[in-house]
Amino acid sequence: MSTTLTRGGPATGRTPGAEPSRRRRVVATPGAWLVWGAVGIFLVTLLGVVGSVLVNSFGTQWFDSWMPNGYTLQWYSEAWSEYGLLAVIITTLEVAVAVVALSVILGVPASYVLARQKFPGKKIVYLLFLLPIMMPPITYGIPLATVLYKFHLAGNISGVILANLVPCVPFVIMTMTPFIEQIDPSIEHAARMSGARTWSVFTRILAPLLLPGILASSILVLVRTVGMFELTFLTAGPDSNTLVVALFNSMNAAGIRAQQTVDSMAVIYMSVMMILLVVALRFVNPTQLVSQVKEEQTD
Amino acid sequence: MSTASRPMARVGKPTGPLLRHRLADRGINARLLLLVPGLVFIVMLFVYPFLYGLTLSFQPMDGGGPFDSYRRFFEDSFQSSTIWKTLKLAIPSALFNVLASVPIAYRLRGKFRGKRFLTTVLVIPITLGTVLTAEGLLNFLGPAGWFNRALMSAGVINEPLPLINNYWGVFFSIVISGFPFAFLLILSYLSGIDPSLERAASTLGADWKERFRRITLPLLAPGLATTFCLTFVLAFSVFPSAILVGDPTNTTRVISIAAYQAAIEQYDWSFASAIAMIMGVIEIAVIGLVQLWRSQFYVGSTGGKGA
Amino acid sequence: MTNASFSELRLESVGRSFGEQEALAGLDLTIRSGEFIALLGPSGCGKSTALNCLAGLLPLTAGSIWMDSRRIDTLPPEKRGFGMVFQNYALFPHLTVRKNIDFGLQMRHLPKADVARRSTEAVRLVHLEEHAGKLPGQLSGGQQQRVAIARAVVLEPSLVLMDEPLSNLDAKLRLEMRTEIRRLHQSLGLTTVYVTHDQEEALSMADRLVVLRAGRVQQIGTPAELHTQPVNWHVADFMGFRNLFPATVVNGGRGVLGDEVVVDVDGLRLVGAAAAPITVGEKAAVGIRPEDLQIIAPNDPGTTAGNVIRAKVSVVEYQGREFAVEVRTATGIRLHLRTPIRLDAGDVVDLRVPAERLLVFPGGNDLPVEEAPLGETASADGRLLREAS
């Protein structure tokens, strides 16, 4: 696009990073090799990490060779019955759904206020909502578990839900606030000028406009909750373990059971996450899973 | 025709603004009620437990002075050394994640085929979480794993490298879940910088090194600081992988293990809370230092989308 | 079920401040039923604030608003029964054109048949029959504008508020919509308050204009009044008096409006008309429209008749039927004029202005200091500085 502009300029046309020649030179420069090499190494490692779990879970015996001697599904049935995986998966889904619903109900109204108006103490409120995201779960998880045990709320599913809500409510707020900000306030004003009261403005105008944002942030909360280890670990009782905690427990008790059952459980966990991920990626941009920044659609 | 640059004498009594309006002017109105449920929740389940934990940490379980839990932590080198062990893991790995991300994200910031695929693949380890990553690392990097097997059959090494159940196992685990996180964050910060700024610099005669150093890097610096903080927090609180792929009784007995053992194994909630508070203070100290560094840079619009 | 119409809407010393800053102060205005009022002023003058206060979207910090004998500034916007057209249209993006128009009718809980009948009528009024089922995002800017207008007028509001409704349209469409809005106003007889920064738009559409500056009313009057008799140089600046420069009153000022006064501009004596009471010795601002400056031949007998300014041409712009010319006097005053005569940079011309077309305003101290234009040195020699490359 800027070829004619830069070609005449001094010292720009031929440098490796220059835009006009990028398409041609991606393969050619040493910098590009280095970058793609690093990405490649990372991806191979990732593949190895995921692949070895996958292969081991299907293998009969696997000692000093590249691949297992034979393949079987027995580890899956073993893991399924020994760890009571059906119950664990049901608990996991119950926790996830409850956390999503509650965090949307609590978070969206608050994010509306944060997006739309200034008020005294707004910075403090904002910081309060930001802290649970910034702090690592284990820091506030221990005092939180103490309090929940004190009120006999921990050690069962309600404790797991409450603990998981702590980072998720702020997460919904932080993802929804920029989403609401980009909805022109004059649309709400227009509804008011047409005679709509606050309730109608919310149900008829805002709710339909916010739906995509709510959906996106719900899915992100779902992924986070299923993957959240620390908080669930600290507050779960024997009957309220989610999949990730059950996996940790089985790994930590290694030696008692065959490594393969642990791996097959890991594969089940992985499949749950992958299904969620595939669903999530239908609705949200990959970077949103990380950055909470609502990117404009550019591609 | 009337000029009103000078005040006109009004007939009738003056009507001051209503109290409701004056409050609304300062941002206090009925809409703030929407904030209440979320705020009550956070106060009850975040602020209150935190303060409760703080007071608890000053009330040692087996009696003694208010600072006994803290004294116990710092006087026992088995406990206090966890700070250095954690920092020794967290700072290099967070730095590695950020510094490796910058050139890669800079190179890949434009559009290319398969970008969506690449970002999707990078999201996978984030969603898999540390527990599964640990299990995979045990298999992959273990003495009989594919990695050592490949190196040995290539003749690079004779003995398997000890890569798990030690410092490096935990380090790799942090990199596998932390690097994609840092990369995607930095990529979104980079795409938040208006590309025409670089084009403007190139029309003024700057080559790509100068453009990166004098335009992109200063604008990226706040983003780098934030990314470092977030990856540091992730690495600092490393817990499952320190137990599973690390050496949890010795070199990778990180501070969160100490806290966990106090809480879950010894039921000493006072001591556990004290350790949690120490963790919080260290984190805030590191984040504070980084923010101090960040405040020396331009903060504001970077002219582009997002970030 | 429509809103009771009013015979008079009174704004009494309406003011609005944001923190310490007064965005609007002491606005007194009486709007008669059926009137088309334009609020005119540069950006940040408080005109949109005034409109939002009237709509109820912004609470007042001073004063009150009365609809006949009913005080309405305490009512929320949805209870005032006004219609509003927003600058960016603010159409509901998830509703079709038809449903956008239905919305207000539904909010009033009208029977379904009435809603359908009235929205059909409104769609026809703005010629959007073919587009009624489309979403706003599928429409052009002009069509969106029409939907916004239909949505506002379908409620037959007692007052229609328009916030720079044409500013997002291109020049040609703007002219068309201007006529369209005026026609709609005449046929429906809706009382309208129209905010704009475009003086031409305001002059051509409104029955009365309110000129605002820095949150304060400068002048209220009919288009003709404002055009010929601006009360101060700020209004004049807005009404096309592009040539404004400081002067001192030296003779004739007896403190009467319309008085003939003599002013001194850096030694040059000019005769003009006082736009407001002014006295001898007072600092003044002189205002001349570009079209009132005439070029006279060097040996014209008029040269000795006075009110002649000698200047050197600095910039000539071709503008179709005529040229827009910038000249500079020996003392560095920059003047703009329009002439069909072809001139070149560097030519020296004599300019005359009729005394009744040279307005003298009190208070020339706050005239903006002219900055040297791009590419020109401040040395006033009228020569372009060439780049040394």
Nearest to A139 among B31, B48, B237 (CB): B237
Q: Pick from A52, A72, A92: which residue ends a domain?
A: A72
**Mean pLDDT, residues C331-358:** 89
Specify whether A33 is located in the same domain as A16: yes
Query: Is residue C57 in some structural domain?
Result: yes
Specify whether A274 is located in the same domain as A196: yes
pLDDT at residue B8 greater than cutoff 80 = no
Q: Pick from A72, A105, A126: which residue ends a domain?
A: A72
pLDDT at residue C378 greater than cutoff 80 = no
Specify whether A103 is located in the same domain as A202: yes
C155 burial type by CB count under 10 A (0-12 exposed, 13-18 middle, 19+ buried): buried
On chain A, the residues whose CB falls within 8 A of the CB of C167 are none
Nearest to C219 among B3, B15, B20 (CB): B3
Are C192 and C36 in contact by the 8 Å Cβ rule? The answer is: yes
Residue C316's identity, in one-letter code, is V
Specify whether C212 is located in the same domain as C299: no
Specify whether A282 is located in the same domain as A174: yes
Nearest to A109 among B34, B122, B187 (CB): B34
Specify whether A33 is located in the same domain as A48: yes
Q: Residue C13: how many CB atoms within 10 A of its CB?
A: 19
Task: Compute the distance between CA of residue A232 and CA of residue A248 in angstroms, rounded to an integer.
Answer: 11
Specify whether A52 is located in the same domain as A81: no
* CATH (domain of C200): 3.40.50.300
For the record, the structure tokens of C278 come out as 């002014």
The share of chain C scoring above pLDDT 90, in percent, equals 38
Specify whether C298 is located in the same domain as C201: no
* 8 Å CB contact of A192 and C78: yes
Taking only the tens place, the pLDDT of each residue in C237-265 is 888 888 998 888 887 756 566 678 888 88
Query: Is residue C292 in some structural domain?
Result: yes
* CATH (domain of A218): 1.10.3720.10
- Provide the chain A residues 185-204 that lie in CB contact (below 8 A) with chain C: 186-187, 189-197, 200, 204
3-state secondary structure of B175: helix
Nearest to C57 among A189, A195, A209 (CB): A189
On chain B, the residues whose CB falls within 8 A of the CB of A123 are none
* 8 Å CB contact of A200 and C107: yes
Say if B2 is an interface residue toward chain C (CB within 8 Å): yes
For the record, the structure tokens of C157 come out as 């509001």
Specify whether A96 is located in the same domain as A240: yes
Specify whether C170 is located in the same domain as C261: no
Query: Is residue A297 in some structural domain?
Result: no
Q: Higher model confidence: residue B154 or residue B297?
A: B154
Specify whether C22 is located in the same domain as C165: yes
Specify whether C143 is located in the same domain as C265: no
Total number of domains in chain A: 2
Specify whether A103 is located in the same domain as A122: yes
* 8 Å CB contact of A186 and C82: no
Angle formed at CA B82 by CA B78 and CA B88, multiple of 5 degrees: 135
Specify whether C219 is located in the same domain as C300: no
On chain A, the residues whose CB falls within 8 A of the CB of B35 are 109-110, 113-114, 125
Q: Which domains does chain B have, with CATH numbers?
A: 59-294 (1.10.3720.10)
Query: Is residue A162 in some structural domain?
Result: yes
Specify whether C214 is located in the same domain as C65: yes
Q: What is the pLDDT of residue A292?
A: 44
Query: Is residue C1 in some structural domain?
Result: no
**Mean pLDDT, residues A228-245:** 89
Say if B211 is an interface residue toward chain A (CB within 8 Å): yes
Total number of domains in chain C: 2
Distance from CA of B249 to the nearest CA of A (A): 13
Specify whether C35 is located in the same domain as C97: yes
Q: What is the pLDDT of residue B15?
A: 47
Taking only the tens place, the pLDDT of each residue in C215-230 is 999 999 999 999 888 9
ipTM of the shown complex: 0.78
Specify whether C310 is located in the same domain as C208: no
* 8 Å CB contact of A192 and C76: yes
For the record, the structure tokens of B124 come out as 């996978």
Comparing CA positions, the residue from A30, A31, A8 lying closest to residue A20 is: A8
Query: Is residue C12 in some structural domain?
Result: yes
* Listed range (C90-104, C194-208, C370-384) with the worst mean pLDDT: C370-384
Domain span holding position C313: 243-362
Distance from CA of C155 to the nearest CA of A (A): 8
Query: Is residue C59 in some structural domain?
Result: yes
Q: Residue B271: how many CB atoms within 10 A of its CB?
A: 26
Domain span holding position A210: 77-291
Q: Pick from A13, A37, A72: which residue ends a domain?
A: A72
Specify whether A170 is located in the same domain as A40: no
Q: Minimal Cα distance from C93: which residue of A? A: A209
Specify whether A131 is located in the same domain as A10: no
Confidence of residue A35 (pLDDT cuts 50, 70, 90): confident
Instruction: Kindly report the pTM of this predicted structure.
Output: 0.77
Taking only the tens place, the pLDDT of each residue in A48-73 is 888 888 888 887 777 677 777 777 88
Confidence of residue C374 (pLDDT cuts 50, 70, 90): low
DSSP C263: E
Query: Is residue C183 in some structural domain?
Result: yes
Say if B18 is an interface residue toward chain C (CB within 8 Å): yes
Query: Is residue A299 in some structural domain?
Result: no
Mutate to test the interface with C, among A194, A197, A202, A211 (most CBs of C within 10 A): A194
The share of chain C scoring above pLDDT 70, in percent, equals 90
Q: Pick from C228, C257, C281: which residue ends a domain?
A: C228
**Mean pLDDT, residues B196-205:** 83
Specify whether A30 is located in the same domain as A169: no
Confidence of residue A14 (pLDDT cuts 50, 70, 90): very low
Query: Is residue A298 in some structural domain?
Result: no
Query: Is residue A222 in some structural domain?
Result: yes
Specify whether C251 is located in the same domain as C357: yes
* 8 Å CB contact of C55 and A200: no
Query: Is residue A296 in some structural domain?
Result: no
Task: Compute the distance between CA of residue C192 and CA of residue A97 in angstroms, rounded to an integer.
Answer: 52
* 8 Å CB contact of C86 and A190: yes
* 8 Å CB contact of C64 and B15: yes
pLDDT at residue A97 greater than cutoff 60 = yes
Q: Minimal Cα distance from B120: which residue of A? A: A286
The most confident of the ranges B58-72, B202-216, C129-143 is: C129-143
Q: Got the DSSP string for chain A?
A: --HHHHHTSTTTTTSTT-GGGHHHHTTTSHHHHHHHHHHHHHHHHHHHHHHHHHHHHHBS--SSSSS-S-B-SHHHHHHHHHTTHHHHHHHHHHHHHHHHHHHHHHHHHHHHHHHH---TTHHHHHHHHHHHHHS-HHHHHHHHHHHHHHTT-SSSHHHHHHHHHHHHHHHHHHHHHHHHHTS-HHHHHHHHHTT--HHHIIIIIIHHHHHHHHHHHHHHHHHHHHH--HHHHHH--TT---HHHHHHHHHHTTTSS-HHHHHHHHHHHHHHHHHHHHHHHHHS-TTHHHH--------
Specify whether C311 is located in the same domain as C266: yes
* 8 Å CB contact of C57 and A190: no
Specify whether A15 is located in the same domain as A143: no
Specify whether C160 is located in the same domain as C293: no
